[in-house]
Amino acid sequence: MSVEPEVPIVQVEEVRENPVLYKIISSDNHVFTISEHAVKLSKTLWDLITNLGLTAENALDNPIPVENVNGKNMETIVQFCERHKYDEEEPEYTNYIREFVLPEWDRQLLSIDNEELFQLILATNYLDIQKLMDYCCRVIGDMAKDKTPEELRIIYGIPTDAEDDALERSASDSPGPSG
């Protein structure tokens, strides 16, 4: 994939102590550099790097295109991964209610509008970053605090049964691709 020269290169908290850096290109052709420790938080990216056989010598010459994630989300993701790259591994959750404190830095990072959060969570799911996924889901779960069912329906965009039925009817009534 060729990258236009005028495309901005986004520098996100670059690390000097770690010489191994990788380049990632978002769907809208923004280029990001990310350290090895940080990129390992994404199972998808790390599997890709491993399978492509990228090394410290050739990593920067072989940018990794990620066509499902735009530049805005990628910037957030790279910031998150750089921030948490040296975190210790989380212990297994024992209770089904996941009790953890969402750090203030991460809460700020995820203080974005709902549409952006929705897109970010899909990107996080695609890149398979468990910690960011847990944090995003925690933010979404927190929206349910002290809410009535009617408020939940609005916040989470839940159609009523009648609306679901109408949608289903219109889907079955509409002609298929050949009709």
List contacts with another protein (CB under 8 A). Answer: 94-98, 114, 117-118, 121-122, 125, 133-134, 137-138, 140-150, 152-161, 164
Radius of gyration of the chain (CA): 20
Q: Between 24 and 121, whose beta carbon lies closer to another protein? A: 121
Report d(CA 71, CA 77) in Å as an integer.
10
- Give, for 130, the enclosing helix (H) or strand (E): helix 130-142
Q: Between 39 and 136, whose beta carbon lies closer to another protein? A: 136
Q: CB of residue 131 vs another protein: minimum separation in angstroms?
A: 12
Q: Is 140 left (phi over 0), alpha (psi -120 to 50) or beta?
A: alpha
Q: Between 6 and 115, whose beta carbon lies closer to another protein? A: 115
Task: For the chain, count helices (H), then strands (E).
Answer: 8, 4
Amino acid at 53: G
Q: CB of residue 156 vs another protein: minimum separation in angstroms?
A: 5
Q: CB of residue 126 vs another protein: minimum separation in angstroms?
A: 10
